[in-house]
């Protein structure tokens, strides 16, 4: 007898609970992309370094310098970072050698967070080029 009531209760529950049909869609776009800290910093400071490389080598806007690696990142209490980057300058002629340069840039992130001490940090976003050294002559 209990099995009959349990069966009727189960059938009634199935009829009362609405069912949903889920439509799936095929998506060919790649959603997962992997970015490193170096990629992010490169995107931020690339234009500043690019202007200086063009100025340094008196080249045109199509000078194809290459980002080699970050040599160091230093955080300062005034809420800014000094980033030193090694770059490669391609040879002008096939007989020349590739040149290496060291660029030091200061990045000032904006101080608009309430978690940052506003007395020590009162600047907006900006980037300054501090030093540029041609390592190979």
The whole-angstrom separation of Cα 66 and Cα 89 is 7
Write down the residue that tokens 């008196």 correspond to: 58
pLDDT at 14 over 80: no
Share of the chain above pLDDT 90, in %: 23
Mean pLDDT of 46-69: 81
pTM: 0.67
- Residue 54, Cβ density class (10 Å: 0-12 exposed, 13-18 middle, ≥19 buried): middle
The whole-angstrom separation of Cα 36 and Cα 68 is 14
- Rounded to the nearest integer, the mean pLDDT of the chain is 81
83-137 per-position pLDDT tens digit:
999 999 888 777 888 889 999 999 988 877 777 766 677 778 899 999 999 887 6
């Amino acid at each position: 007898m209990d099995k009959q009531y349990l069966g009727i209760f189960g059938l009634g529950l199935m009829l009362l609970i609405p069912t949903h049909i889920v439509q799936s869609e095929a998506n060919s776009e790649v959603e997962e992309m992997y970015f490193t800290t170096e990629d992010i910093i490169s995107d931020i400071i690339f234009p500043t370094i690019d202007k200086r490389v063009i100025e340094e080598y008196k080249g045109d806007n199509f000078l194809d310098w290459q980002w080699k690696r970050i040599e160091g990142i230093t955080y300062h209490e005034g809420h800014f970072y000094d980033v030193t980057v090694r770059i490669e300058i391609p040879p002008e002629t096939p007989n020349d050698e590739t040149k290496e340069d060291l660029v030091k840039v200061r990045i000032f992130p904006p101080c608009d967070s309430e978690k940052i001490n506003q007395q020590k940090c009162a600047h907006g976003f900006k980037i300054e080029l501090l030093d540029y050294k041609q390592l190979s002559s």
